[in-house]
Amino acid sequence: MADPRVHPSTAAPPPSSSSAATSSENSTQHPRPPNPPPSNPVPPPATYVVQLPREQIFRYPPPENTRKFEAHTRRKTRRSCCWRCCCFTFCLLLLLIVAAAVSAGVLYLVFRFKSPKYAVTNISIKGMNLTSDSPISPGFDVSIRAENPNGKVGMYYLKDSAVDVLFDNAKLSDGVLPAFYQPRKNVTVLETSLTGTNVALEAAVRRTLRNAQKQRKVSLVVNVKAPVKIKVGSAKTWEITVMVKCDVVVDALNERAKIVSNDCDYSVRLW
């Protein structure tokens, strides 16, 4: 007996072979379009080579390169300025030396300049007490003979000169020369008084000085440093420095000292 609540369903008819063929033909003639790509695709992991235009590479350098170039340029400019300054100074000195040499040559050829001559003609000594080890205060009265053998050249001996007497490199006294003008072909004897105050001699120097006095051969050195201007006609040269060194040997260290030997040399400093 059949259940009255169950109703029979009508099954759908199977598709016919003609309709299946028609669907297959339509799908073949009109393919379905592909899906559009996503708006933000994710690139696969890989290595990329970025190529920039050559104009951009050379026309716009990085800022750090610009700073390095500017610093290098400033250093190069400073070096160039220093080099030019050194070259200018060297050329100026060379020009002055050449001018001085030419002037000296012209003076020698025109006026036949002869070297002056110097000698210590007299020396008187006081206060050389060597019997004790206490400091001494010696005094020297020195006469210096200066000869100008030139017939057309005069010499001005200026102030700020210096004269000293030494024994074994120990200074005993010092003083100055008087300022004066020495005309052409002239001989002048300059007298100066030199003094020393509380001169403390070392034991070895004092002992050597005593032995030399016993042998009556005391070797002294008289140094003279004098600023001089040379007069040629009505013109004067710049100030030059004459330095005289006289090796003098005396027989005693008193007021009656006599000169045993005397040898003087001189040099000139042009600047």
Three-class SS of 158-170: CCCCEEEEEECCE
The angle subtended at Cα 18 by Cα 15 and Cα 22, nearest 5°, is: 100
Residue pointed to by tokens 């050829």: 109
Query: Could you tell me where the DSSP H helices lie in the chain?
Result: 17-29, 54-59, 63-111, 203-214
Residues 238, 188, single domain; the answer is yes
In a domain, 91, yes or no: yes
Residue 163 lies in a domain: yes
107 with 206, same domain?
Answer: no
- The domain that holds 158 is classified in CATH as 2.60.40
pLDDT score recorded for residue 6 = 46
Task: Please compute the mean of the pLDDT values over residues 173-180 and round it to a whole number.
Answer: 96
Q: Which tokens belong to 257? A: 């000292």
106 pLDDT higher than 90:
no
pLDDT, tens digit (0-9, with 9 covering 90-100), for 124-149: 999 999 988 899 999 999 999 999 99
Show the domain range for 231. 117-269
CA-based torsion, 193, 196, 202, 207: positive or negative = positive
Q: Is residue 30 part of a domain?
A: no
Is the pLDDT at 109 greater than 70? The verdict is no
Q: Which is more confident, 263 or 90? A: 263
Please identify which residue in the block is written with the tokens 């007298």: 191
Does 90 share its domain with 203? no
CA dihedral 246→248→253→254, nearest 10 degrees, is -80
Residues 101 and 227 grouped into a single domain: no
Residue 139 shares a structural domain with residue 233:
yes
Last residue of a domain, one of 111, 127, 156: 111
Given a cut of 50, whether residue 21 has pLDDT beyond it is no
Name the residue among 118, 165, 162, 131 with its Cα closest to residue 263.
118
pTM: 0.62
Residues 81 and 126 in one domain: no
For residue 202 the two structure tokens come to 């070392």
Is the pLDDT confidence value at 240 over 80? yes
Measured distance CA(11)–CA(86) in Å, rounded: 118
Give the domain-ending residue among 95, 111, 127: 111
Judge whether 123 and 145 are in contact, CB under 8 Å: no
pLDDT value of residue 251: 96
pLDDT tens digits, one per residue of 198-235: 999 999 999 999 999 999 999 999 999 999 999 988 88
Residue 164, phi-psi category: left (phi > 0), alpha (psi -120 to 50), beta (remainder): beta
DSSP 88-144: HHHHHHHHHHHHHHHHHHHHHHHH-----EEEEEEEEEE----SSSS-B--EEEEEE
Question: Which H/E stretch holds residue 269?
Answer: strand 259-269
**Residue 65 and residue 181 share a domain:** no
Q: How far is CA 182 from the centre of its chain?
A: 40
Number of domains in the chain: 2
Instruction: Based on the fold, state whether residues 171 and 145 are members of the same structural domain.
Output: yes
Work out the average pLDDT over 50-70: 60
Rounded CA-CA distance 111/133 in Å is 55
